[in-house]
Structure 1
Amino acid sequence: MSFIALGINHKTASVDVRERVAFTPDQMVEALRQLCRVHPTREAAILSTCNRSELYLHQDHPEAEAVLDWLARYHRLNIDDLRACAYIHTDNDAVRHMMRVASGLDSMVLGEPQILGQMKSAYAVAREAGSVGPFLGRLFQATFSTAKTVRTDTAIGESPVSVAFAAVSLAKQIFSNLNRSQALLIGAGETITLVARHLHEQGVKRIVVANRTLERASLLAEQFGAQAILLADIPQELANCDIVISSTASQLPILGKGAVEQALKARKHKPMFMVDIAVPRDIEPQVSELDDVYLYTVDDLHEVIAENLKSRQGAAQAAEELVSTGAQEFMVKLRELAAVDVLRAYRQRAEQTRDDELLRARRLLASGLPAEEVLAQLARGLTNKLLHAPSVQLKKFSAEGRIEALAMAEELFALNGNQEQS
């Protein structure tokens, strides 16, 4: 049985490809159930964020090509185009990859903490879909434990570096004094919450939160003294805003070129700074063609992020070592668990043999046979029956020339001459 981690991320695929491979929350449960019908997938989970879409699988035999084919068909992509930017990890490499992802070591922002929460959500959705069993379940728990150790034992998460922080840092470069600026935040998820927190700490004059549901927008707005509106109210509010940062799960753009053009006219072409963190994109790419608009996507944030990563680089090596240790320990435990079923079956057979021989001995005692003779027969019977199956198999191995199996048996039964003599 094998683990597989298969997917694309910000290092291997452009935002255009990533948005086509992304899974929406509404698609996730059905996609997982479909995926588990792909032979020979037994367990599956999907992690889909703005920077990556990854499938985590447990299979009887590693058949990643079948999964890749399913992914291409599901998203109606050319299989060769997908193969060109996809990566596939198996067994120990798959385990290590999951742990690196959860620890923030494979993120655009080194050490960013949001990915662990997203990984936990992926696990929860997979459990809801019934696609996680004992093997992936254990792997997720080991992954969470390793990521927690990385957070606790290294300084990788100490500096305030994230996509949200990078977006706000970029805004500070364009508007030197943020306490005179007004911001419109589209969405109410974890990333937008972080953006709102950073903007609030920078003393932004006014924050407006727009969301599909007013309740979610209001819950976020209350935390930072902001105003909550519906997505439909954005056109009326857009002209007032100097900063627009968007991160939703919408499949279609929320802001088009026409709406931004009208807002610019109302602002008398006072500059607007926009960051589209969403995948698929919330803001039409054509908006960047407008004068007085500074539009950035997640891919554009690399440079800003790189500047803020220096303090985390030293901690990354220690984190990598913790991840490697975590992966090795998990695989060792998994191999130990694999022996449990064999040991249980062997013990049950031995105990049944013992009970049968003991019953026979009691009958012989009841018939009046001397105890010494009964004990000798009991010992002889137990020895013969316990050795019968191994003896037959060893003779078979020898006849077939399977020398390695004979050597393994010698080690298994401690016949190498090093055992203690009684």
Structure 2
Amino acid sequence: MAQQSDSGVNAPASTAISAETLAHIGKAHVQIPGGFTVHAKLKQLLEKREQMSREGGIDWGFGEIAAFGSLIMEGVPVRLAGQDSRRGTFVQRHAVFHDRANGNEWLPLGHLSDNQAKLWIYDSLLSEYAAMGFEYGYSVERPDALVLWEAQFGDFVNGAQTIIDEFISSAEQKWGQRSSLVLMLPHGYEGQGPDHSSARIERFLQMCAEENMIVANPTTSASHFHLLRRQAYSRPRKPLIIFTPKQLLRLKAAASSVEDFTTGTFRPVIGEHEQLQASAVERVLLVSGRLYYDLLSTRQKTDDQTTAIVRVEQLYPLPAAEIAAELAKYPNAEVVWAQDEPANQGPWPFMGLNLPEALDRRVRLVSRPASASTAAGSMKRHAAEQDALLKQAFARK
């Protein structure tokens, strides 16, 4: 019955919310119940969220909370389960608070309006196969809800590969079974070693065909916000794989203004933000995820005016038209795909196969060399690799 009622086509033109709604969600964080004892450090966080909701500088944690809060105010149930998801593995979410004196719980989003939809946030057991399988089934049977599963680190998703292969990637094609399950997989090369860096972007992209799922790697809190809201309202329903950040959770450059939440929608491609002289641009770097900020910092330090940087926020379905539109601004530039991951991993195996054909032009790669391991095992080696990668991205032969 759930599948029969899950019909129609909808692509929301806007996923913005009003400034009043954003401020209301922020204010809920300082309306602490009487007699509830909040840890002093967390009280500062609550006050900061209220301030962000009015003044901007909205970080990743509150941007996500704003997506959840606005959806339940609009009548869309939200269910998130995962490994340490109430607090967040990186202490960024804090969706549920505990009285430090008696252990009582307080959910700031629990009383936004009288007729709001339900919000469930659970810390799941450390069985990825069981937990993801349950959330997949829940999503199938609740087409009205935004259902999410989160890994503690992205590579923990390995434990649920059977669910991904059998259901998430192909259930619609095999059985006509639709799901809009969201997988949030922390991913980022910051020197944490082989077991805490990669969520295996290449594996998901290898399974992509026939528009069977959406794969995204957003770079700002507002981009993440709009992506989640778009997912809640888009029809027909498709699974969404988000490679969520670690470093960007608190990076000021990745924070967003109030206006970024009250206007627009998710942009699969974000063009160059500087007013470069188009005819002087010799190279366009296409990049997805946190490497963007390293490239931006390097360009600023070297005062490079001949390299444009374009962010690909959605990896699949491949936004070829949007990428082509950005490249058309720079008629004299070569095109380079830059990534943190080794050459045989990350987006490149998919991009290298599909992007040159879609653009009808050559695309060159800048990355770490191909590797059997996902990442280096020492911070020193990681730093040396990163330095070499950044130099290569801007070097001129």
Work out which structure has the larger RCO, using CA pairs closer than 8 Å and 6 or more positions apart in sequence: 2
TM range (shorter): under 0.3
- Which is helix-richer, 1 or 2? 1
TM-score by length of 1: 0.25
Q: Computing the radius of gyration over CA atoms, which structure comes out larger, 1 or 2?
A: 1
TM-score by length of 2: 0.26
